[in-house]
Structure 1
Amino acid sequence: MTIATTAAPAGQSALDRLRTLAGAGELAAHYPEIPQLLAGLGTEEIARAGRQLGRLKPEDVLGHHPGTETLTVAVTGSSTLAGLLPPLTGELARHGLLLRAWNGDFDSWITDLQDTDSELYQAKADLTLCVLDAEAVLRSLPVPWRVEDARAATEATLALVDRLAGHYMAHGTGTLVLNTVPLPRAYTHQLVDLASRAALGIAWREFNSGLLRLAAGYERVAVLDLEPLLAESGPANDPRLAMYAKAAYGDELLGRYAREVGHLARTVRGRTKKVLVVDLDNTLWDGILGDDGADGIAAAVTFRGEAFGRFQRVVKQLGSQGVLLAVSSKNDQEPVLDVLGSHPDMVLRTDDFVRINANWQPKDVNLRDIADRLNLGVDSFVFADDSPFETGLVAASLPGVAVVRLDEEPALHIGALLADNWFDVRELTAEDRARAGLYRSEEARQSLLESAGSLDEYLQQLQVTVDLSPVQEHEIARMAQLTLRTNQFNLTTERLQPADVRARLADGQHWVLAVRTADRFGDQGLVGGVFARVEGDTLLVENVILSCRVFSRGIEQTALSAVLAQAAGRGLRQVRAAYRPTKKNHKVRDFFPSVGFTRSGGTDEAPDFAHDLAEVPEVPGHVTITARF
């Protein structure tokens, strides 16, 4: 049996499929195929695909598929960057994003960022890429020059970039993306004494460190470190193109840069993956448990076993930062649990996983089961397996799952897993580090539910408490993260960065309320939020969000009841709200009617609601709430 791993017909490559669709004038109509077609392609192939896709007009795609998510990117910099748009187009398409691009003139970055009337600002970009190179820093060096001259140039450039970043924060939109700057050998080796070369290296590293620190100083600045990319891509450029075409970075490095931008775009759009599902045999350990027995498998001691052990360490490292770990393996459950519990080679243990499915079901069935158990969509999953059949099966039947195809060489497994930054977040929170434990505690709640005589009895025994109050400074990153990562209980799916949350907090007309909850089995932390704004005698509820971990416990009704009671107590006459549909939030379409709101306008697909505050819905009887406004 053969499982197709892309949407291309058998015998036709992904790039051939693109050319066929383009030649037939059907590329826009088939745009939803693109992410699956491009999955697994290298940077050079992505750039070739991007050149084909770049001929599409966004409006043509949107005409066929109005729900396609677009991303506006403005590109400016200090050198020729024409080679960036094809890989950028391809990388965004690989993640299901349609590029709207604005490209600045050669070396116009200072003017573009300084002039608030420039086309860069008018573009209102989601991402503004300011691509810097060494010539931007050192082109004004005198002849001859000394290390002191280069140090002064780096300090002046860093101060300029800092000032322009602050200016962009005040007047621009979206995220400003900067980069560290490689120091070319053509500069270091103009210095003939080793002491001066070392001093120049120190000054340059201090310059790059200063650039990286800008991301900590500005919430809407991201700095991509080019050093790891350069280590993988070879020379930064072709010296002839750098001299004559002013192309400071070659196609290979720009392709890797575009790949990182694609990962960042996915992060700012709330597309971070949440769950890593791994196979076991020849994935977490060397050997096949069912054939070789526990004594015949290895994740240490042997040469190959050591490679598997290192892979386990990386998986465990991801799990420590909020990535939920699960197993889908064709094995019997009891031997698997024995190995994870007591085998001396194992770095990963039973408690590291929120779900272990060791059985003989097809792996796509297992992934659906894990998703159901965690109350998450499979499109939040990454699946890593060494079997081409299993990865092909999952890719074909569950296209929303990110498939990591591991091969027979375990030394390459870490690179394959980390290649696409699937789990990136802007900032790690305390809830992230505690997430696996919070999900594991759900087993105790499930046991209580199964033993209770009814749902009401379960809720009474659960002893739910809710704390509702304005978001605190240390919770801003978590609240922004909830808007980015929560899809099912998200009434309008407005995505907010930390700076957006902070701006609402600073506005006296906005209410930014954190929903925290606990029960008899432990503290669940900050699990949701209410965003509202006072407008005259009306409170506009802009969004209500709630983590899928705590659905169906009355928490959302409790929080909104408290908000309505506060609005009534302040003399407001009505509350207005809206539901805006997405592919994932259909479960909450009737949330507002369920708490007493009536239809007030909008459309059948995107209704508006109102509540006159003559009566305020009661807090569910099984919930205890503390509300502070």
Structure 2
Amino acid sequence: MSGRERLRELRRSGLLAEHYDEVAALLAAMPPEERARSARLLAGVDAEAVARRHPGLRRVKAVVTGHGTLEALRTALTGELARHGLLPEVELTGYGTSVAELGDPGSSLYAAGAELTVCVLDHTAVLDEVPVPFDTEDVARVLREKLALWRDLAAVFARTSGGTLVFNTIPLPRAWQVRLLDHPSRARLGALWREANAGLLRLGEDEPRVTVLDLDPLLFDAPGPHDPRLEVYAGTHLSEAVLGAYAAELAHLVRAGAGRGKKVLALDLDHTLWGGVLGDDGVEGLEVAHTPRGEAFRAFQTLVKQLQSQGVLLAAVSKNDPETVLAALRGHPDLVLREEDFVAVLAGWKPKAESLRTLAAELNLGLDAVVFADDSAHECAAVAAELPEVTVLHLAGDPALHVRTLLADGWFTATGITSEDRRRTLLYRQESARAEFLSAAGSAADFLAGLGVEVSLASAGEADLPRLAQLTLRTNQFNLTTERLSVEEVRARAADPARRVLAISSADRFGGNGVVGALFLRAGPGPVLVVENMLLSCRVFARGIEQACLSAVLEAARAAGYRTVRGEYRPTAKNAKVGDLYPHYGFTSAEPGEHGTVHFHDLASVVAVPGHLSLTAGEGLVPPPLTT
């Protein structure tokens, strides 16, 4: 039975809510065109019923508005979100009501409380207000007015909603460009239109809650971006193909914001990263550059290098002799990627699923953080069957298509890139050196004593805010509440005198780790100090850093006059390892909370800073107690 048939059967039998945990895998296995058709089967699913049966699914509420008919976008967005294991609730505002809805803080759009609001812009929003006949100055005037309007709507949204607003750039239809008969006027119109789109793209610089998607790259790949018949008869100004690609980009954005972006790209080598079989052809026989096919592999390596430079961790997973693989990575003159670009080179004759398990364990990451790419259908099928959490990409056929296949689903899309991201491979390679040091140490105590851990805990500065927001989005294991925050939300908390946002940095004998964690604190009545959340990167587990930072905060709370410190643990599928953190460090009582367990510390006895590390704590770690 095909995936579409299975979905149809579940829908027909009324069992779709009960078996909603199958939906993501069924949709993911479909080609894009079949997935778009199958998404219609999800329309009308009772999200409440699904949530009751599958409480672990993350719900995503979205509102779609715009100038034209957008039912196709609602359907496609429902399917794309479901494909990524999310539970979508997508609403559509009335036809042509976008300005009224976005401009009125009391509208139903804002009442929906959506985390994602999509305002689809198209050429009619501008050209419907251009007079007939028109010249380029008429278009310039309307574009200026529209940009001012969209800027005002973005400002209203930023003041009113806690979610994200998405606009898009507007394609210029040829049918309007050629209404101007002379080429100088067409060029002028093109320049004006592109300047307006550039203004749109810059809206996100002024309003952090606004994201603007550039449609030009989507039009490059989408067949039939516009159908004049559907525009005239149905008010559909962008084709179903374009709206489907738009929905996919929105889903990538939501996935990144939910902390579900991928972190590791595990690559086969033969016929994937280079042409030829290393064991048969030798290092000198590999095909990289100098031939059309070799240039295709080189282009793929260039892409992979670009991803690596922005924080994607690379691993080679190959059935080859390890020494020969290293010889190729170190010595082939035409390779773009070198040994130092990889956090791990797992070459040998073990099953690749076993190698991927080893990789995830060494990196202290979940298997769902890994994308595995291989040209072999057999290897892809074997990994998919044994490790369903891993995202598997089959790089089939022509290597010139490898780039498109790897980029098609935006697996590594991020909400922002930090300095730690650009150093991520180096940081993990340093971690490998620490692991070697541990294996040579006589005991864990000897390892920690010789590591020379230095920890800094201080109020976050402006430069720390993007990294701290990223930690809330990407940290899953040591994350006590998994509350996801944008940079603007972190900034607002840091500016609140009743709160503190603390950045945790660390270093040791092998180098600096940068900002590795965060503490979010709030003054409550009582006087009670509330630990809103604590996060720590998986790279620095088991070094006593959390104990040192909690010790400093508890001591500062006692000195400031607090009577109690309260912290909540909200269990998820991935943070079980910190389930007993509060009791372990002296929180002596607990009670059920709305989402988990609330723990209390009476400050009578505070855990000490571990003796094997040094802690530098800044001033004003806790906010002053509230006065009654």
After TM superposition, the score normalised by the length of structure 2 is 0.97
1:318 pairs with 2:307: yes
Distance 1:477 1:166 in 2: 21
1:606 correspondence with 2:596: yes
Confirm whether residue 459 of structure 1 aligns to residue 448 of structure 2: yes
Shift of 1:41: 3.1
Q: Which residue of 2 aligns with 1:625?
A: 615
Residues 554-612 of structure 1 show CA distances to partners (whole Å, capped at 9, x for unaligned) of 00111111111111111111100111100000001111111100222117993211011
Letter in 1 for 2:299: R
Aligned to 1:566: 556
> 1:592 maps to which residue?
582
Matched position secondary structure for 2:118? strand
Q: How far apart are the structure 1 equivalents of 2:119 and 2:32?
A: 21
The answer on 1:542 being equivalent to 2:532 is: yes
Contact 1:298 1:345 in 2 (8 A): no
> C-alpha separation between the residues in 2 aligned to 1:522 and 1:122?
49
Does structure 1 conserve the Cα–Cα contact (< 8 Å) formed by 2:504 and 2:518?
A: yes
Q: Are residues 1:95 and 2:84 paired?
A: yes
Q: What is the CA-CA distance between 1:40 and the residue it aligns to? A: 4.8
Q: 1:390, 1:233 → 2: CA distance? A: 31
CA spacing shift, 1:316–1:54, aligned 2, 3 Å: same
Worse overlay, 508-517 or 235-244: 235-244
Question: Aligned match of 2:570 in 546, 555, 580?
Answer: 580
Q: d(CA) in 1 for partners of 2:125 and 2:454?
A: 57
Distance in 1 (CA, whole Å) between partners of 2:288 and 2:9 is 46
Contact 2:315 2:343 in 1 (8 A): yes
User: Which one of 149, 164, 175 corresponds to residue 186 of structure 1?
Assistant: 175
Give the aligned CA root-mean-square deviation in angstroms. 1.3
How far residue 504 of structure 1 moved from its aligned partner, in angstroms, is 0.5
Partners of 1:499 and 1:42 in 2: how far apart?
Answer: 37
Look up the equivalent residue of 1:440 and give its one-letter code.
R
What does residue 276 of structure 2 align with? 287
Amino acid at match of 2:610: P
> 2:293 is matched with which residue: 297, 304, 315?
304
Which residue identity is paired with 2:501? V
Matched with 2:237 is: 248
Residue identity in the other structure for 1:203:
L
More displaced 10-residue stretch of structure 1: 274-283 or 603-612 = 603-612
Do the aligned residues in 1 keep the contact of 2:20 with 2:50 (CA within 8 Å)?
A: yes
Match of residue 208 from structure 1: 197
Amino acid at match of 1:17: R
Query: Is there any run of 5+ residues in structure 1 with no aligned partner, and where?
Result: 1-11
Residue deviations 1:445-470, cap 9 Å, x none? 11221122211111111111111111
1:339 — aligned with what? 328
- CA-to-aligned-CA distance 1:315-334 (integer Å, 9 cap, x gap): 11111111000011111111
Amino acid at match of 1:198: A
8 Å contact from structure 1 (residues 558, 620) kept in 2: yes
**From 413, 421, 445, the counterpart of 2:434:** 445
Letter aligned with residue 137 of structure 2: E
> Does 2:373 correspond to 1:384?
yes
1:169 matched to which residue of 2?
A: 158
1:116-265, aligned counterparts within 5 Å? 116-265=105-254
Q: Is the contact between residue 43 and residue 259 of structure 1 (CA under 8 Å) also seen in structure 2? A: no
2:182 corresponds to which letter in structure 1? D
Select which of 493, 504, 512 maps to 1:504: 493
Match for residue 626 of structure 2? none
Deviation at 1:398, TM superposition (A): 1.6
Q: Report the CA distance between 1:614 and its aligned residue.
A: 2.0
Deviations 1:518-560 (A, max 9, x none): 1111110000000110013110001100000000000011111
Counterpart selection for 2:479 from 467, 485, 490? 490
Do residues 480 (structure 1) and 489 (structure 2) align? Answer: no
For 2:508 and 2:387, the matched residues in 1 are separated by 35
Q: Tell me how far apart the structure 2 counterparts of residues 407 and 600 of structure 1 sit (CA, whole Å).
A: 54
Task: Indicate how the Cα distance of structure 1 residues 599 and 393 shifts in structure 2: closer, same or farther if over 3 A, else same.
Answer: farther
Other structure's SS at 1:489 match? coil
Give, as a single letter, the amino acid of the residue that structure 1 aligns with 2:550: L
- Residue 401 of structure 1 is matched in structure 2 by 390
Describe the superposition over 1:294-320 as per-residue Cα deviations: whole angstroms up to 9, x where unpaired. 232211112211101110111111111
Q: Deviations over 1:373-393 (max 9, x none)?
A: 111111101111111111112
Relative to structure 1, the CA distance from residue 259 to residue 198 in structure 2 (aligned partners, 3 Å threshold; closer, same or farther) is same
Cα distance in structure 2, aligned partners of 1:192 and 1:286: 51
SS at 2:392's partner residue? strand
CA shift digits 1:19-38 (9 cap, x unpaired): 22223332222222222222
Deviation at 1:417, TM superposition (A): 0.3
Whole-Å Cα distance in 2 between the matches of residues 608 and 189 of structure 1?
66
For 1:414, give the aligned amino acid.
V
Q: Secondary structure at the match of 2:506?
A: strand
Corresponding residue of 1:70: 59
Give the ranges of 4+ consecutive aligned residues of structure 1 lying more than 6 Å apart after TM superposition.
Answer: none
CA–CA distance in 2 between the matches of 1:375 and 1:14? 33
Deviation at 1:55, TM superposition (A): 3.3
- The letter for the 2-side match of 1:136 is A
Q: What corresponds to 1:5 in structure 2?
A: none
Residue identity matched to 2:534:
V
Deviation track 1:218-249 (CA, whole Å, cap 9, x = no partner) reads 11111111111111113322101101211111
For the Cα contact (< 8 Å) 2:74–2:91, is it kept in 1?
Answer: no
1:79 to 58, 68, 75: 68
1:599–1:610 CA contact under 8 A, matched in 2: yes
Does 2:296 match 1:272?
no
User: TM-score, normalised on structure 1?
Assistant: 0.97
Corresponding residue for residue 624 of structure 2: none
Residue type of the partner of 1:256? A
Q: Does 1:110 align with 2:93?
A: no
SS in 1 for 2:423: helix
- For 2:551, the aligned partner's letter is S
**1:624 partner SS:** strand
